[in-house]
Amino acid sequence: MSGAQGSGAEKSGAEEGPVLTSVAGRAAHLVLNRPRALNALTHEMVGLIDAA
């Protein structure tokens, strides 16, 4: 996340995939989206979380 001030508007990331992201103002929500694997982390997911 950047240090820039948000306008309060929500912006969404990918709608599908192992990590779902959304940003509302200065808060970001990350959702692990692998219910069949009990949301176990993969190397890909760690990279996506790091990039968020």
Q: What is the pLDDT of residues 8-42, one digit of tens each?
A: 444 555 578 999 999 999 999 999 999 999 999 99
How high is the pLDDT of residue 13? 56
How high is the pLDDT of residue 1? 45
Sheet strands side by side (includes 27-32):
10-12, 19-24, 27-32
pLDDT at residue 50 greater than cutoff 70: yes
What are the start-end ranges of the E strands in 1-52?
Answer: 10-12, 19-24, 27-32
Is 31 among the domain residues?
A: yes
Specify the number of domains making up the chain. Answer: 1
How high is the pLDDT of residue 45? 94
Is 29 among the domain residues?
A: yes
Is 3 among the domain residues?
A: no
Is 22 among the domain residues?
A: yes
Which structural domain range is residue 27 located in?
12-51
How high is the pLDDT of residue 14? 56
Is 6 among the domain residues?
A: no
pLDDT at residue 43 greater than cutoff 60: yes
